[in-house]
Amino acid sequence: MDSTASVPQGVIPVQLLKGQKALVTGANSGIGKATAIGLGRAGADVVVNYVAGRDAAEEVVEEITSFGVRAAAYEADVSQEDQVTAMTDRMVQEFGTIDILVANAGLQRDARFTEMTLEQWQKVLDVNLTGQFLCAREAAKEFRRRGVVPEVSSSAGKIICMSSVHQLIPWSGHVNYASSKGGVQMMMATLAQELAPYKIRVNAVAPGAIRTPINRSAWETPEAREDLLRLIPYKRIGDPQDISHAVVALASDLMDYVVGTTLYVDGGMTLFPGFATGG
């Protein structure tokens, strides 16, 4: 039993983020793409960052502009400091400022521990953790420079870190990925504490199993799907829109008093489902 048809479609209030400028990293596919589109639907202008796949990024831009807001695709590798600063400088120049950063870009390079190469370890840490650090730092500088503009938002800026249930759940065969997301959790909380006095809100969204290219093998065959659903009390695999809705809500002033929180969007995956019938 798994149906994405039950994801509410198009429920985002259109004007929720009107006039805000959002940067979404890794926005040409999966969760990043759905999130960029959701932010645009909510009235934000959106920069769609990508590292490879310009055509896919341009398609996302096209869909977002159909909502009557601005969008543009910027190429940058989030793990490279000079590319990140060039991207945020360009956004400030072309869009005026940044109000919302969704630090989403991430990848997996899976291997059993004793076979994992230093390169596999380093690549995942570089993109998933250092990439978020660099983007958050540049966004925070811009938030502090600009300060609060009350007509736009109650806060000076919002940073939303894309984490994972694996910031909490250990994951055999994925020590690089789980370590990167554990790092994201502590980075997010520390930044939230440090930046809150400047009216900057830092939070995280921790997706569970969402149907995207990153985890195709976990849902592609009926057997894999059945195994996966055993880990999800709500008995459906997530849809990228589930995450998009959470990000839009967290970025909005509806959540103005939410600071330093991780919102798990996981159908209950973090509820120790193995204990539902045992223990």
Task: Name the site residues for ligand BGC (rule: CB under 6 A).
Answer: 108, 164-166, 208-209, 214-215, 218
Residue closer to ligand BGC by CB (options 35, 153) is 35
For the CB of residue 231, give the shortest distance to ligand BGC in the complex, in Å.
7
In whole angstroms, the minimum distance from the beta carbon of 19 to ligand BGC comes to 32
C-beta of 209 vs 255, nearer to ligand BGC: 209
| Strand 100-103 relative to strand 21-24, pairing | parallel
Compare residues 13 and 182 and give the one whose CB is closer to ligand BGC: 182
Among residues 51, 160, 46, which one has the least CA distance to residue 104?
A: 160
Cα 219 to Cα 101: distance, rounded to the nearest angstrom: 29
Nearer to ligand BGC among residue 152 and residue 218 (C-beta): 218
Partners of 102 in beta bridges:
24, 160
What is the rounded distance in angstroms from the CA atom of residue 239 to the CA atom of residue 207? 10
State in angstroms the smallest separation of the CB of 177 from ligand BGC: 7
Known catalytic membership, residue 177: yes
Give me 229's structure tokens. 């659903």
- Widest Cα–Cα separation across the chain: 58
In the complex, minimum distance from the CB of residue 230 to ligand BGC, in angstroms, rounded to a whole number: 12
182, with CB counted inside 10 A (0-12, 13-18, 19+), is middle
Which one of the listed residues 177, 234, 257, 264 is annotated catalytic?
177
Which sequence positions are flagged as catalytic?
177
